[in-house]
Every structure is written in C-alpha cells, then in structure tokens.
Amino acid sequence: MSEKHDQKEWDVIIIGGGIAGLTASIYLAKAGRRVVVLDKGASLGGRAMSNEIADSRVNMGGHALYKSALPILREVGVEPVGGTPKTSGSFVFKQADGRSKALPLGQLLLGSFLKWHEKTQLLRFYAKLRKIDTAALQKVSLQTYLESELGSPRVRSAVLALVRVATYCDAPHLLSAGAVVRQLAQAQVMYVDGGWQSLVDRLAEQARQAGVSFLTRSPVRTISGIAPRMTVALKDGTRLSARHVISTAGPKETLAMLDPALTPAESALYERLTPVRAACLDLVATGMPQSKTRFVLGADEPWYYSNHSAASALSDHPGREVIHVMKYLPVSEETDPAQDERELEGFLDLIQPGWRGHVVQRRFLPRMLVSHAVVEAASGGLSGRPGPAVAGRPGLFVAGDWVGDSGMLLNASLASAREAARCIIAGKDTVKEGMHRGA
C-alpha cells in the first residue's frame, strides 16, 4: 500500500488512513490540493478494517452503518451495498427468581410481562421521539431525562438497551439526552456486504483516482509549526512539510504528537474526553441452533447479539455466518476480560444453547475502542465537543468520532472530516468567530 516517491512538500498531510482521513483526502484532492495520507499500520482502515477469518469478512466487533451517513459517502463517490436487519428481536430480562429470560419484542408489547401502563409509557416515548426538542436536552443527562419521562424501571431498561445499540455506550449518567434522542430518531441502519473493509477499499480507490498519495507503516513522531509552514516528523526520521495538517488520531494521541505542546487551557478540551469501549466476541459459525434468533439485547445487562449474515453477504462459504456478541463496557471502571468473555458465553448459552458445536472460528477483543469520546451532558452535548480547527495551532485540524457538533460514531467522523477539509479549502486556518470551538 505504501507508495514510494521523493515528494516531501504537500498542501495537506493527513494523519490516519481510516474512514475520516480517507474522506477528508477526497474532498481536498478534488479541490486541487496535493494530499498525502500517513498511516502507522501496514494497510488502511484503522478500526474500520475487516479481517479474513474462516473464508469470511469479520469486522472488529459489530458495525452498523446508519443510513443518515449515506449523503456524505455519496458525495465522495461511495455507495455502500448491504441489507437492513429486521427490526424484530428479543430482550433479555431478569425474572423475579433471578434467572434471565429472553422475551421477543412482540411478546413484550402484547404479553403479560409489562403491565398496561408500562406498555403505554414505552409506546408514547417512541411515538414522540422525532418531535422532541433535542437542543433543549443537550446539557441534560440521559439518566435524568429517562427518570423524568419513564416511571417504570423495566421500561427504562428496555429503552437503555436500545440506547446502547444506537450509541455503543453504557453511561446514561454521562450521556447527553439530546444527543441520544437525536441518534435514536435516525436509527435506520444497514449491514455492509463484505464488511466495513469494502467501505475502506472504495474510499481508498476514490482517493487514488483524485490524486491522493499514501504512506503506510509511517507512524508520526511530531507535528510542529503553523500554517503555512508545518512539519510532520515520522518515527523513522523522515520529515514532511505542508501548509496544513489534519490529525484523525484520537485526542490524546494527537496531543502527544504536538511540538510544542498546547497550553494547559487549550489541551483541557481534549484531555477531558472519555473513551467508549466494548468487549467483542466475534464468531464464524455453521448456522446457530436457534436459527430464527438473529437479534437479542440485554435489558438488565449491557449485552448485544446479532447475526450480521442474516442481512449482508460476509462469507465465501454458503454455510457460514458471521455473528457478533458484545458487552458494552463501563466507562469509569476496569473489568476483568476473562470474566467478560465468560459472561458473553453465558449470554450465548441462554439464547443459543449448544452454540459451541457450531463455531468454526472465534475471536475475542477484550477492550475494543468504539469511540474516542462519550457525548457528555456536562460538557454541553454535541456542541461541547472540540471543533475541527485546533485553537492555538493555526493550520492544524482534527477529525474523528470525537470532533464537531454533528452526529455520533461514523456520522461524526464523516461530518468532521468534511468540515475540516472545507475549512482548509476556504482558507480558514484558525478558529474564527462562527466556527465551533467546543464548550
């Protein structure tokens, strides 16, 4: 993937060859900028890459593409292909005797587990979801909001299970209610054929066609200077010059590369961000014992199960399926990876008894980085995240799932990548009035 050339001067250097970096590179190259993308890995993709496991394309944990991301992908020439998972599924609740039981959604609404007033609460909440003023709730925690809206703990548990799916985050005490409600209101997703690697490959091809250059196995040591003369030094001693730099690394990784460092006041906006992680058990299996059980959420526990092959093409072998099982990890404490794996196995024992006999190959990712930052109510919600222009360092921009006031997860990465590119194209080298600064 690395391309050999002697050029050392660029209009824009982009650090990171994941989806954000590739997207920004396409906008910039199409606007006539000379762009190089640096990536520390041997291949492009970052957390969006898929691995070949047992003749199947397996994402790094369960990935779903929100259809609200399609407009930006189409702008850069990428049209994802895949399927939409069925909305039917089950919730695992703890019973009065302490044992867990999976209840299909239909049974939850029509059966006797929820009382009539609880069913009414749940239906009313979702009926008004798109009408809620999310701007007024950006600084309100999700926990506070749900306790005021839903009197039933069991209904709150069901809603929080859906929140975890939409945000990949199990921190209702921190999450911005406004950001979550906005995310839930656009919850139509697709599973991508060929895994997310197909997105990476298509973005990389569009970038190459636009004239972008790539340097893989090129970890960055430092970013120095300001526009229009910035220098990126690689760990092998190579030095590259550019008018602008975009870092799509995480907030703390970006801070560590800056020479000189930002002032304490400037860096505080990045240092306070709390990452989101999940324990992921990825399976390639020859079907599963309960073939009709394709999507299950833990209501009282932060569990997720989904057969992604039920909606997308992921294997060359017609009898094999790709299944993702996850535990959304707490953000404020460490857990025991071995215990997390046993917990996920127990979850599978409950919903897919006999599953071990169907597994062709498995992989456990104990602390998969899902997102670099919880969208926190205390920081102002979406508008409290850092903007793409780095204050105190003219010419330096950032992009990723932790940047900008638009969207979460991949949507935030795409929106911030586009905004960073637009700022450079428009000649906005610093944070100016009217540009997002963060709270």
- The pLDDT tens digits of the residues spanning 402-427 come to 999 999 999 999 999 999 999 999 99
Cβ contact 146:125 at 8 Å: no
3-state secondary structure (DSSP) of residue 409? helix
Tens-digit pLDDT profile for residues 229-266:
999 999 999 999 999 999 999 999 999 999 999 999 99
Region of poorest pLDDT, from 56-65, 91-100, 318-327: 91-100
Spatial contact of 288 and 323, defined as CB atoms under 8 Å apart: yes
Q: What is the mean pLDDT of the chain?
A: 94
* CB atoms inside a 10 Å sphere around CB 204: 21
> Do 328 and 301 meet the contact criterion of CB atoms below 8 Å apart?
no
CA separation for the pair 164, 174 (Å, rounded): 13
Q: How much is the pLDDT for 107?
A: 85
Q: What's the chain's length in residues?
A: 439
Is-contact 194 34, C-beta < 8 A? no
Q: What pLDDT score does 429 carry?
A: 65
pLDDT at res. 422: 98
> Domain 276-371, CATH 3.30.70 — does that match?
yes
Q: What is the pLDDT of residue 109?
A: 84
> Cα-Cα-Cα-Cα dihedral of 295, 18, 216, 242, to 10°?
-170
What torsion, rounded to 10 degrees, do the Cα atoms 142, 146, 148, 154 define?
Answer: -150
Please write the tens of the pLDDT for every residue from 103-129. Answer: 998 888 888 889 999 999 999 998 998
Task: State residue 84's pLDDT score.
Answer: 94
The DSSP bridge partners found for residue 231 are 224, 241
Which tokens in the block code for residue 200?
A: 């990476």
φ/ψ of residue 73, rounded to 5: -60, -40
pLDDT bucket at 186, cuts 50 / 70 / 90: confident
Architecture of domain 9-48+198-273+375-425: 3-Layer(bba) Sandwich (3.50)
Query: How confident is the model over 284-310, as pLDDT tens digits?
Result: 999 999 999 999 999 999 999 999 999
pLDDT of res. 332: 83
Secondary structure (3-state) at 157: helix
Tell me which DSSP letter residue 18 carries.
Answer: S
Residues with Cβ within 8 Å of 221's Cβ and at least 6 positions away in sequence, in order, are: 233, 234, 235, 257
Q: Is the pTM of this model over 0.85?
A: yes
Contact between 372 and 402 under an 8 Å Cβ cutoff? The reply is yes
| The pLDDT value given to residue 6 | 54
Percent of the chain topping pLDDT 90: 87
Q: What is the pLDDT of residue 1?
A: 41
Number of H helices, E strands in the chain: 12, 19
Nearest to 351, CA basis, from 58, 63, 91? 91
DSSP letters, 248-301, are -S-HHHHHHHBSSPPPHHHHHHHHT---EEEEEEEEEES--SSTT--EEEESSS
**Inter-residue contact 289 to 348 (CB < 8 Å):** no
Residue 46: pLDDT over 60? yes
Domain residue extents for the chain: 9-48+198-273+375-425, 115-184, 276-371
Determine the pLDDT at residue 420. Answer: 98
